[in-house]
Structure formats: C-alpha cells, structure tokens
Amino acid sequence: MKRTLILGCARGIGAAGARLLAERGDRLALGDIDLPALEQLVDELHDGGAEAHAFGVDAADPAAVTSFVSAGARQLGGLDAAWSNVGVQIAGTAEEVTVDDLDRSFAINVRAHALVCGAAVPLLRAEGGGAILITASNSALLSEPRMLPYATTKAAALALARQVARDYAPEKIRVNALCPGWVDTPFNEPAWANFGGRERFLEAVPGLVPLGRISTPAEVARFACLLLSDEAAYVTGHAFVADGGELLG
C-alpha cells in the first residue's frame, strides 16, 4: 500500500490512474484546478472503499503547487510516489503565439513539474526513496503543425525528468517521463482543431497512427501505474512512449 500524490487528475489519464491506484490499495492525495470534478472522483473512490483526499490546485501558481505536495503528504502521513500529470495544450506557430501563450505553457508544462519534484524529493528521501512520474508527450520527440508552445514545453518536461533522475538516483528516487500519443480526451481539442475538429481528426488517424486508433485514458494510465510501482524498481530516467506506433513515422 503506497502513499501516492497526483497533480492533475480530475478527468482523463489522471482520473483513470487514480482509479487504478485505488484498486491496488494506494492511499491518494489528489490535486486539480477543477475541484468540483475532483471531489466527484474522490466520492467515487470512497464508495469503492479507497482513501483519497481532494485538493484544489492551480498548477500555474507556484505556491499552490508546493503547498499541495506538502499538505497531501501530511494528510497521508508521508509520501512514496508522486505523479505530476498537469498540462495545457496551446497551439500556434512562432508568428501566432503570444507571450502569454508561451508563459502559460511553460508555467504548467514545465515549471509545475519542477516544483512537484522539488517538493516531493525531501519527502521521498525521508522514506529511503520512491518514484516520481512526469507526464510529457510523444510531442517531446516529434514535430507537428502549429504546436510550437506545446511541443517545445513537452520536450523541456522530458529533459526535466531526465535531469531530476540523474540528480537523485543515488538516493533511490526514480524519475521517469510518460509520453502518450493521441488519447481520446478533450485535452486534445486544440490539436484536433488543426484537423478541422475531432471527427475530421478521427478520419485521419489511420494515416497517423500505425495501430489505426487513438488510446483510451485507461490504457495510458495502466502504463503510468506500472512506472510508479515496485515492478519498475530498476527503471529511471527514461521516456516511456504509448502512442500506437506514431513515432515509427
């Protein structure tokens, strides 16, 4: 039974992951900006007999992120694993994006992850080690039309995970990056717009993804739960891609 913290889990991959972690017996501290949706998830987990605590967190607010990690670990009585799953998808070319677009992309897609790591490391050290997972994207490893803010910051998130893994491996703190491809969640609406909307995008999927379909949140969440578990005890500093073969080109 692990004490696990997730930032960014009111819906999508994070919510699916919270359900799976609860099923395996983890005690959970969950944070998201959408507190009503998060509280619904926590009620669902409670109904299933799990321990879970909801915290409203704006990932663009540095103080809110670090306070969440501290408060969540305090609620759980310590910390064994942390998953920073927040992200924002902002589309645009170098000519189209604004300074605000760039700053918000960096604040949520990079800085929030770094702050989770910085706050979680001392807590994991106190337990003799643990696991951190950062959600990046396969966009960290490829280029797509009109996705400059997203692709750039996701590449930075991957570099961040590798750097933190290097710094803290001697203390038995593992850090990996989860790099999903296309997942069927509203998070991808800005990218779908580049195709003319979700339905037009789905028509294009067979030409984009060798497996011929997009993923469900639960499929990716199972991968995340593996990386947070002791089953991955000898794995650190890597990008784990779940994208149906999209990187094959």
Query: Which of 55, 150, 201, 223 is labelled catalytic?
Result: 150
pTM recorded for the entire structure: 0.96
Cβ burial of 36 (10 Å; 0-12, 13-18, 19+) is: exposed
Each residue's pLDDT expressed in tens, for the chain with a length of 249 residues: 899 999 999 999 999 999 999 999 999 999 999 999 999 999 999 999 999 999 999 999 999 999 999 999 999 999 999 999 999 999 999 999 999 999 999 999 999 999 999 999 999 999 999 999 999 999 999 998 899 999 999 999 999 999 999 999 999 999 999 999 999 998 888 888 888 999 999 999 999 999 999 999 999 999 999 999 999 999 999 999 999 999 998
Contacts of residue 94, defined as CB under 8 A and 6 or more positions apart, other chains included, come to 148
Active site residue 150: yes
Question: Please, what are the domains in the chain?
Answer: 3-186+217-242 (3.40.50.720)
The letter for the amino acid at 215 is: S
Contacts of residue 63, defined as CB under 8 A and 6 or more positions apart, other chains included, come to none
Q: What is the dihedral of CA 33, 89, 178, 70, to 10 degrees?
A: -30
First to last CA, the chain: 40
| Cα distance between residue 69 and residue 123, in whole Å | 9
Cβ burial of 34 (10 Å; 0-12, 13-18, 19+) is: middle
Confidence (pLDDT) at 247: 95
**Count of C-beta atoms within a 10 Å radius of residue 163:** 14
Confidence (pLDDT) at 249: 81
| Cα distance between residue 104 and residue 2, in whole Å | 32
